[in-house]
Structure 1
């Protein structure tokens, strides 16, 4: 995709958020961002839960994919990070046990994501 086409897609996504929620993700408050995430996931958004990054190199590669995304590219952040609204795997890993999760703020503090999250949610950037 060309840089112009990517920018057009990003603008269209931003406008769609504004039409639906009255605000783009980059300006949304905590509650609105939670609703945006839940709506997309409940409407069938498929995210990349596999492969789980087993090494620091694989983890860094995912961060490299996320880093250039703007705060308004919420959908892409959710897809790349493998976001789920439920615990994952045999061990039922969840945000609450992740080192990036701020319990009292209900927030993922990984700079490349920086999104609200519920304790029982999960993404493949989960770290202990």
Structure 2
């Protein structure tokens, strides 16, 4: 994805969340089995189904939970690219966003 496409995708995601997209923030996967089940659900989507990815992974456009977790501290976040490197997502993200596939 080139930088123009990445910026367009980032804007689209931000707009979907601003417009009230309902995503599955709960349950947060506490075990590897639960995490793997969410990944399997994502794999069944068409790779271009951005909205589906966002719903299943539970994207929100703000820090989440009592610890105010955010993409910036997630192991999948690539800081210099503003990118989620989890293969099942592979989308641009803002540092202050969060999804339930967050990992430290």
**Is the shorter-chain TM-score for this pair beyond 0.5, marking a shared fold?**
yes
Note the residue ranges of structure 1 that are not aligned, 5 or more in a row: 1-27
- Kindly indicate whether residue 71 of structure 2 is the aligned counterpart of residue 104 of structure 1: no
Give how far 1:108 is off.
0.1
* Superposition RMSD in Å: 1.3
Which segments of structure 1 move beyond 6 Å, counting only runs of 4 or more? none
TM-score normalised by L of structure 1? 0.77
- Kindly indicate whether residue 11 of structure 2 is the aligned counterpart of residue 38 of structure 1: no
Q: Is the helix fraction higher in 1 or 2? A: 1
Correspondence for 1:121 among 93, 97, 104: 97
TM-score normalised by L of structure 2? 0.94
Note the residue ranges of structure 2 that are not aligned, 5 or more in a row: none
Task: State the distance in 1 between where 2:51 and 2:99 align.
Answer: 14
Q: Who wins on radius of gyration, i.e. which is larger?
A: 1
